[in-house]
Structure 1
Amino acid sequence: MRLAITILFTLITSPAFSQDLVTVASTFLNDNKYIEAKETIDEVFEKPDGDKSARAWYTKGRIYHEILKSDAPEFNKFKSNLKDFTGEVALCYNKTKALTDPGNNLFRLANNQLEILWTDGINKGYKDYQELKFESAIKYFEMSQAVKPQDTTAYLYAGLSAQNAQNYKQAIDYYLAMKSFTRLSKLVYNRLIICKQAMNAPLEERLDMIEEALFEYPDHLPYIAEEVRALIKLNKFVEAESRLNTVLKRSPNNFELRLRRADLFDRIFKEAFSNGLPERSEKYFEMASEDYEIYLNTYPQDFTANYNYAVMINEQANRVYDRVNLMSEDEYVISGKNTEEIGHNWTRKALPYMEMCRKIKPDDPGTIRALKVFYERLKMTDKLAELNGKG
């Protein structure tokens, strides 16, 4: 009796018995009885040597794969985390390949299933992306990530989906995940910078991202422009000026950066005067004027550049008018008219740029208010009358 029990125990625990269970699981799979198939194949892997069989791994992969594809609600309990469950399927196929050689039929079958699994996630994700179902698209792209963790496609599209869903932190995580196995493209850095802006990240944090992009693409002018913009907003004028001067020496015809420098010099012109540094203020006024005029000579219809240049020139006029207003009656008799004329000359210089603004945007209220002041100062009564009722 003891001998019979020993023989039976040996049969139950032998590799042959596990292979019989694989056959049973395959039968259930072919009959579309996926619950029974899963229970049977899971039993195989509870045996000591169950994970040594390529056939067992492949069969488990096929069963889990069918459960993954099925929409039947009874399978949802297995797929509460779609990416993790997809990872299990991929693991089965990869284990099959590891236990066979490339010439083996199971190796080829497992490899084909991996490609099908990856492509299915990409195609379903892209379909939902096109239909603006961004949250659903993310889940499918994550499935493809689980199959090919080092393929950039699924990470890029997951990032784009998250960004369109306004989940900017999630999008940044997907984009940055690609750094582990590839150099980030300009497209990805563009998206990272946009995400940082959209989520109102601190300026220092945005600057860090821009400088990371510049480390990879040091001569990419849009990144340089973004860096300068961030530096100016952080009042890091010295760093911004140094950066612009260096780049414009190499690319003197980059008008976007020249306008950026004009704006910077304009700010320094105003700041220096406020800080009691009139000589520095005048120096930067001259440099800003030069950059504005070079830019406007090429882009005369740029409303913002015309407006800002006119306002900067008018700042000079205001400083003169302030001196006139502070004069005593005696001082005004002696030099008031001449000093006032200096202010008028600055206003005359600003006038054509502000008038150009009106041509570009005839009803802009800021432009109309400024022109009323200019015309009144210069006693241009006809033009002032034409503006009555506007602004």
Structure 2
Amino acid sequence: MKRTTILFVLLFAVSCAFAQKGKVTSALSYKESGKLDKAVEAIEETIDASNPKTESSVTWPRTWEVRGEIYQAVFQSKDENYKKLSADPLTVAYDSYMKALQLDDKDRFSKSVKIKLTLLIGDLTNQAVAAFNEETYEKAMKSFEQIMAIEQLPVYKADDPNAVDTVIIFNAGLAAYNAQKYDKAIEYYKEAAKYKYNGAKTYSLIANSYFQKKDTVGALQVLQDGLKEYSDNGILLVEVINVYLNANKIDAAMKYLDIAIAQDPKNASYFFAQGTLYDKLQKPEEAAASYLKAIEYKEDYFDAYYNLGALYYNKGVKQVDVANLVPSNQPEKYEVEKDKADVEFKKAIPYMEKAHEINPTDKFTLESLKTLYYRLKMLDKHAEIIEKMKSIQ
């Protein structure tokens, strides 16, 4: 009697197992016939943890493989009603395929799951691109991350263990940056940089991520690392120079600026930057020479003309201070010192006038010219400037 009972229990258990696996087949049939709502309902029944009869199907790799297929079909469906069956069908598909591989200890399903994962990469890529274009950057990042995880699977790398999808890694960084996930952006960009993807630009993007984190030290280190790989890259050089300028480390900025000029000796912007550095170092002669070089390579360089005019204007102001220190009982000496100031003011005028010619509405230039003309008793031009200033207010 006991043996009969045991046999009956075993037969019952086997029949339940077949019944649950039969539901997996039914779910797949619904999917193949386009009845995705019924397919989802059937496959979810097979993994219902509250149902003790589902034990065999829950631990069967094929259950999860079919579940992945069904949710991929939900993503691909053009029917809006079917699309509502899952908020994130590709993630469900991804998790299902991963579960299938995890349960497949006898390696019976890995080949078929690999095929499904290859197809899933295509869907995830499409979803990531669409999400990026729609500015839902976290969703795009998640999709790129899932692609990377798939491509790192042993079953996927078996054919080419050294394969690296640098495009996906870089795009994951780009999505992370736009999602303001700067630590992740740095991680992915650095991985792409290891394979020299996108050259020096990737180092610039890593630095920008550090800047967003207010980590100037990290940004500077990355830029310097980038220059070791791409020593002739002007963008990285300029960014390093700007870091030192913002930190008021003039000598360090000048060092990298000299390198930049050596690499691109006709770059007007570099000479202009050099002029501003010499200005800060209170070396007016060197600053003037740099501004003139900038103008030589860019004839309509407003900022260079303005700074050159301001340089002589400021020298004149300083000389006025010297004249004002002359005792009142030495009028002749006062006139000598004052005349020295006027010499500097006269030097400023042609550069300020050229700056005004390039940008007629700049108020700082107009104010400077008004003061210069009045100082040098050029009253007709002074009146002319006043009228111009009225017309642009």
| TM-score of the superposed pair, with normalisation by structure 1 | 0.77
Please name the residue that 1:252 is paired with: 265
Structure-2 change in CA distance of 1:239 and 1:86 (3 Å): farther
Please name the residue that 1:264 is paired with: 277
Write the deviation string for residues 221-249 of structure 1: whole angstroms up to 9, x where unpaired. Answer: 11111111110111111211222234434
Residue 202 of structure 2 aligns with an amino acid whose one-letter code is V
Residue 139 of structure 1 aligns with an amino acid whose one-letter code is K
Residue 17 of structure 1 deviates from its aligned partner by 6.9
Structure-2 change in CA distance of 1:146 and 1:351 (3 Å): same
Residue 336 of structure 1 deviates from its aligned partner by 2.3
Residue 332 of structure 1 aligns with an amino acid whose one-letter code is P
- Of 235, 242, 259 in structure 2, the residue corresponding to residue 222 of structure 1 is 235
Write the deviation string for residues 303-351 of structure 1: whole angstroms up to 9, x where unpaired. Answer: 1122122212222111111101221223332x22222222222222222
Residue 19 of structure 1 deviates from its aligned partner by 6.4
Please name the residue that 1:188 is paired with: 202
Residue 120 of structure 1 deviates from its aligned partner by 1.6
Please name the residue that 2:65 is paired with: 58
Residue 134 of structure 1 deviates from its aligned partner by 0.9
Question: SS of 1:330's equivalent?
Answer: coil
Please name the residue that 1:134 is paired with: 135
- Is the 8 Å Cα contact of residues 93 and 113 (structure 1) preserved in structure 2? no
Q: Distance in 2 between matches of 1:301 and 1:194?
A: 31
Q: How does 1:42-191 map to 2 (within 5 A)?
A: 46-47=55-56, 50=59, 55-66=62-73, 71=82, 73=84, 75-76=86-87, 79=88, 85-92=92-99, 100=107, 109-130=112-133, 133-135=134-136, 138-149=138-149, 151-157=165-171, 159-161=173-175, 167=179, 169-170=180-181, 173-180=184-191, 183=194, 185=198, 186-191=200-205
Q: Distance in 2 between matches of 1:303 and 1:350?
A: 14
Question: SS of 2:231's equivalent?
Answer: coil
Question: Greater CA deviation, 140-149 or 290-299?
Answer: 140-149
- Is the 8 Å Cα contact of residues 25 and 38 (structure 1) preserved in structure 2? no
Aligned pairs, how many?
358
Q: What's the RMSD between the two structures over aligned residues?
A: 3.5
Residue 195 of structure 1 deviates from its aligned partner by 5.0
Residue 135 of structure 2 aligns with an amino acid whose one-letter code is F
Residue 91 of structure 1 deviates from its aligned partner by 1.1
Q: Distance in 2 between matches of 1:171 and 1:384?
A: 54
Residue 264 of structure 1 deviates from its aligned partner by 1.1
Q: Distance in 2 between matches of 1:45 and 1:302?
A: 77
Residues 1:238 and 2:251 aligned together: yes
Q: Distance in 1 between matches of 2:364 and 2:116?
A: 65
- Of 343, 350, 353 in structure 1, the residue corresponding to residue 351 of structure 2 is 353
Residue 293 of structure 1 deviates from its aligned partner by 1.1
Structure-2 change in CA distance of 1:162 and 1:205 (3 Å): same
Please name the residue that 2:223 is paired with: 210
Question: SS of 1:231's equivalent?
Answer: helix
Question: SS of 2:386's equivalent?
Answer: coil
Q: Distance in 2 between matches of 1:249 and 1:139?
A: 45
Q: Distance in 2 between matches of 1:256 and 1:86?
A: 53
Residue 352 of structure 1 aligns with an amino acid whose one-letter code is P
Q: Distance in 2 between matches of 1:361 and 1:180?
A: 46
Question: SS of 1:387's equivalent?
Answer: helix
Question: Greater CA deviation, 21-30 or 60-69?
Answer: 60-69
Residue 306 of structure 1 aligns with an amino acid whose one-letter code is Y
- Is the 8 Å Cα contact of residues 61 and 93 (structure 1) preserved in structure 2? no
Q: Distance in 1 between matches of 2:355 and 2:104?
A: 70
Question: Greater CA deviation, 221-230 or 180-189?
Answer: 180-189
Q: Distance in 1 between matches of 2:300 and 2:183?
A: 38
Residue 188 of structure 1 aligns with an amino acid whose one-letter code is T
Residue 112 of structure 1 aligns with an amino acid whose one-letter code is I
Q: Distance in 1 between matches of 2:75 and 2:95?
A: 10
Structure 1's unaligned 5+ residue stretches are: 270-283
Structure-2 change in CA distance of 1:129 and 1:247 (3 Å): closer
Residue 265 of structure 1 aligns with an amino acid whose one-letter code is Y
- Is the 8 Å Cα contact of residues 127 and 143 (structure 2) preserved in structure 1? no
Identity %: 21
Please name the residue that 1:303 is paired with: 302
Q: Distance in 2 between matches of 1:68 and 1:194?
A: 35
Question: SS of 1:349's equivalent?
Answer: helix
Residue 328 of structure 2 aligns with an amino acid whose one-letter code is E
